[in-house]
Amino acid sequence: MMTILLAEDEPQTAQLIEFKLKQAGFKVVHAPDGEKALALVGPTRPALVLLDGLMPVMDGFEVLRRLKEDPATRNIPVIMLTARARDKDVVTGLELGAADYMVKPFSPSELVARVRKVLGPLTDPKAGEAPRP
């Protein structure tokens, strides 16, 4: 089972995302702020990190910058989940190394689909099935 680190400070949003990801077969570790997210990356060794852009202590953009600067974590894919919808913010997130960028509010089903796409075919429940006529 693949582990996803979810850094989200809004409890209701975190619970919904965690529920949908667990339902999709992922293990989820939650961090309520950016500093705790960075502290959990080493011990949890996540397959993917979901980062809220606006969090207390350290925002998601700074967490992303630090993850991508560290040789031990630079290859962990990151999806930004944020209310920051300006083109400048999206471009900054992608240029810092985010694999994807989703603007809140978003569909939980779309998030699961994007997580599966970023992590590859092993996470797709239909992988290996013959195409339907």
What integer best gives the mean pLDDT of the chain?
Answer: 90
Domain ranges, ordered by start, for the chain: 3-118
pLDDT tens-digit map of 43-62: 999 999 999 988 888 999 99
Q: H helices within 1-133, ranges in order?
A: 11-23, 34-44, 60-69, 87-95, 108-119
**What is the pLDDT confidence band of residue 132, given thresholds at 50, 70 and 90?**
very low
pLDDT of residue 133: 44
Q: What is the phi/psi pair of residue 41, to 5°?
A: -60, -45
Lowest mean pLDDT among 44-53, 113-122, 124-133: 124-133
Q: What is the phi/psi pair of residue 99, to 5°?
A: -75, -25
How far, in Å, CA of 115 to CA of 96, rounded? 18
Those residues whose C-beta lies under 8 Å from the C-beta of residue 14, and which sit 6 or more positions away, are 6, 8, 30, 32
How far, in Å, CA of 129 to CA of 132, rounded? 9
Token pair, residue 30, equals: 């939650």
**What is the pLDDT confidence band of residue 108, given thresholds at 50, 70 and 90?**
very high
- Three-state SS string across 72-86, please? CCCCCCEEEEECCCC
CATH class of the region 3-118: alpha beta
